[in-house]
Structure 1
Amino acid sequence: MTQLISALSEISRDYRAVFCDLWGCLHNGKTVFPEAVAALQKFRAEGGAVVLLTNAPRPASSVLAQLDRLGAPKDCYDLVVSSGDAAQYALFSGAVGYRIHHIGAEKDMPFFTDLAPELQALAEGKPAIEFVGLDEAEGIVCTGLKDDLTETPEDYRAALLHGKTRGLPMLCANPDIVVDMGHTRVYCAGALAQAYEEMGGATLYFGKPHPPIYDLARRKLAEPHGQIDNAEILCIGDGPWTDVLGGQNEAIDTLFITGGIVAQQFGTDAANPDPALLETWLATEKLAPTYARGHLG
């Protein structure tokens, strides 16, 4: 049964590292949450390592720049690992070909250009990525909607049907379905990938809850901290079907932040989920996070 806790510090002594989600936990795309920052700072001050594990379709360098713009202190985390990082390996390995049709915003272009040194070496030995229309493409790379403030997946129905008819595989750089940007809910690449799959299209995922991002996070974590067993890691996030499910699939304990994208399921006070509503909802969804708390703190 999921245990409601009063603070991260209540359980932190049991873990050497946390894999912490960004959107809905540390910030909402506009504002950093001071209580979450303080909790992560305290965890690190006591010797723990913090990996910010995000389904952002952009590489870590771009995510770090966003954190700087939002004012997130550098001492509340050790490193960032993104879905974009994990998906880049597949892209430059030719998982969907090299003549690709890109669905996404201009802000996501660092996915194609900002490469870690090991990826740069991989890319130099492969054909150059070429952006083409659907009729000429070998595959689709979806980093999100072109304008997530005004568009919905329905706006892409015709393009997705065209791609499916041609048998094009889709690389989804962000498995999230939605995130909350301030008080506005916006669709992510995962919503388009889900629609594509429902049409019968083939989709490849690399972010949470899928294994590649966890494998990459453990490798990156081991570089400065040595090997850390799954039993010593805690996954933190507000995404039931990404953060919680991903942790469960990896046999890693999870802290479910209930005041995020599904807060309405647990009563009117997002900071204090109703225990009975929480237990019933988790049973219905067949999820079993180790711990739960309204907000990270």
Structure 2
Amino acid sequence: MSHSADAPAIISHLSEISDRYDALFCDLWGCVHNGIAPFPDAIAALQAFRTKGGVVVLVTNAPRAHVEIAKQLDAMGVPRDAWDMIATSGDSARAAMLTGAVGEKVYFIGEPRDDTFFAPMKLIENPVTLTKVDVADAEGIVCTGPFDPHAEPDVLRPQLLLAKTRGLKLLCANPDIVVDRGESREYCAGAVAKLYTEMGGESLYFGKPHPPIYDLARRRLVQNGHDISDERILAVGDGIFTDVQGGIGEGIDTLFITGGLAREETATTDQPNPEKLAQYLKDSGQNPTFSIGFLR
């Protein structure tokens, strides 16, 4: 479905368009939950889609393995019948890391809870042996997020400057710049990678909007016996430069959730203000197939 940029197609429920699709590539944070609790309407919408035979792939820029995300969703109270499988930026990035994308001696930027990033993967045979070292001895950088998600990424400038002068590549496990955990905004690995790139360093990306995570999502579909063409897949998410730009880049339809990261810019209370939304899309240069205030 095409429409002009000056009149975005706004729907009020997923069910209005769901018959056109056999699979959803659905973002998690800002769509299904807020980092603390699930959104009941979103859960109901995903359950209804699956009841009609649709497949829900949760496609997330989380820097962790899909099994870790499943545990997190269980703990948060997201029911298992709301989704089928999970593709994470972490898994895409881990696969590259374990095949030697940034060498064997790596400088790790991240929180202690993200140590699981270094766990082995079934998909990878004969992985390289990784050792965590100081930046001065490293062959590359692995970043799952800043050491302190509430501090400006600029605090890492000294380490990044040394890394840049040594020509190190930075493997970014999560391209997101920021997320909102409840009411509190936090920096992600993407903010560190962006700073490194601006400083003249080289950052490698694996999550949305970059192709590796979509390849992984499609592989998960095939692994689970689903042969679904791109025109029957809908990408759902609240990140205009991750979920929407990524879906458009992959040639799949997109549903933009305006009540997440762009709620202020689109003046979303229940639904977006059409004029504000049109301006926001024009400013961002992205044109989603559909928009909706919240997933429901």
Q: 2:194 matched to which residue of 1?
A: 194
Q: 2:295 matched to which residue of 1?
A: 296
1:284 Cα deviation from its structure 2 partner: 1.8
Q: 2:169 matched to which residue of 1?
A: 169
Q: Where does 1:53-202 land on structure 2 (aligned, <5 Å)?
A: 53-113=59-119, 115-119=120-124, 121-123=125-127, 126=128, 128-148=129-149, 150-202=150-202
In 1: Cα distance, 2:122 partner to 2:265 partner: 44
Task: Say if 2:284 is the partner of 1:285.
Answer: yes
In 2: Cα distance, 1:270 partner to 1:108 partner: 34
In 1: Cα distance, 2:50 partner to 2:142 partner: 36
In 2: Cα distance, 1:18 partner to 1:3 partner: 18
Task: Say if 2:239 is the partner of 1:239.
Answer: yes
1:54 Cα deviation from its structure 2 partner: 0.1
Task: Say if 2:20 is the partner of 1:3.
Answer: no
In 2: Cα distance, 1:8 partner to 1:79 partner: 19
Deviations 1:183-228 (A, max 9, x none): 0010000000000000000010000000000011001111223321
- Does the 8 Å CA contact 2:12/2:293 hold for their aligned counterparts? no
In 1: Cα distance, 2:273 partner to 2:181 partner: 25
SS in structure 2 of the partner of residue 225 of structure 1:
coil
1:111 Cα deviation from its structure 2 partner: 0.9
In 1: Cα distance, 2:255 partner to 2:123 partner: 32
Q: 1:46 matched to which residue of 2?
A: 52
Say which of 9, 12, 16 aligns to 2:18: 12
Normalized against structure 2, the TM-score is what? Answer: 0.96
In 1: Cα distance, 2:158 partner to 2:136 partner: 13
Deviations 1:258-296 (A, max 9, x none): 0011111112x4321100111121112110000000100
Q: 2:32 matched to which residue of 1?
A: 26
- Does the 8 Å CA contact 1:258/1:270 hold for their aligned counterparts? no
User: Residue 36 of structure 2 aligns to which amino acid in structure 1?
Assistant: K
SS in structure 2 of the partner of residue 57 of structure 1:
coil
Q: 2:220 matched to which residue of 1?
A: 220
User: Residue 185 of structure 2 aligns to which amino acid in structure 1?
Assistant: R
User: Residue 236 of structure 1 aligns to which amino acid in structure 2?
Assistant: V
- Does the 8 Å CA contact 1:171/1:204 hold for their aligned counterparts? yes
1:122 Cα deviation from its structure 2 partner: 3.5
User: Residue 272 of structure 1 aligns to which amino acid in structure 2?
Assistant: Q
- Does the 8 Å CA contact 2:88/2:213 hold for their aligned counterparts? yes
In 1: Cα distance, 2:126 partner to 2:75 partner: 30
In 1: Cα distance, 2:235 partner to 2:170 partner: 27
In 2: Cα distance, 1:66 partner to 1:191 partner: 23
Q: Where does 1:230-269 land on structure 2 (aligned, <5 Å)?
A: 230-267=230-267, 269=268
1:118 Cα deviation from its structure 2 partner: 2.1
Deviations 1:53-100 (A, max 9, x none): 000000101111110110100000000110001011110110100100
In 1: Cα distance, 2:126 partner to 2:218 partner: 21
Which residues of structure 1 form unaligned runs of 5+? Answer: none
244-253 or 280-289, larger mean C-alpha shift: 280-289
User: Residue 90 of structure 1 aligns to which amino acid in structure 2?
Assistant: A
Normalized against structure 1, the TM-score is what? Answer: 0.96
SS in structure 2 of the partner of residue 234 of structure 1:
strand
Which residues of structure 2 form unaligned runs of 5+? Answer: none
SS in structure 1 of the partner of residue 136 of structure 2:
coil
User: Residue 122 of structure 1 aligns to which amino acid in structure 2?
Assistant: N
Aligned residues: percent identity?
51
SS in structure 2 of the partner of residue 282 of structure 1:
helix
1:116 Cα deviation from its structure 2 partner: 3.5
User: Residue 173 of structure 2 aligns to which amino acid in structure 1?
Assistant: A
User: Residue 189 of structure 1 aligns to which amino acid in structure 2?
Assistant: A
Output the aligned Cα RMSD. 1.0
Deviations 1:32-64 (A, max 9, x none): 100000000000000000000000000101111
User: Residue 142 of structure 1 aligns to which amino acid in structure 2?
Assistant: C
1:159 Cα deviation from its structure 2 partner: 1.2
Task: Name the count of aligned residue pairs.
Answer: 290
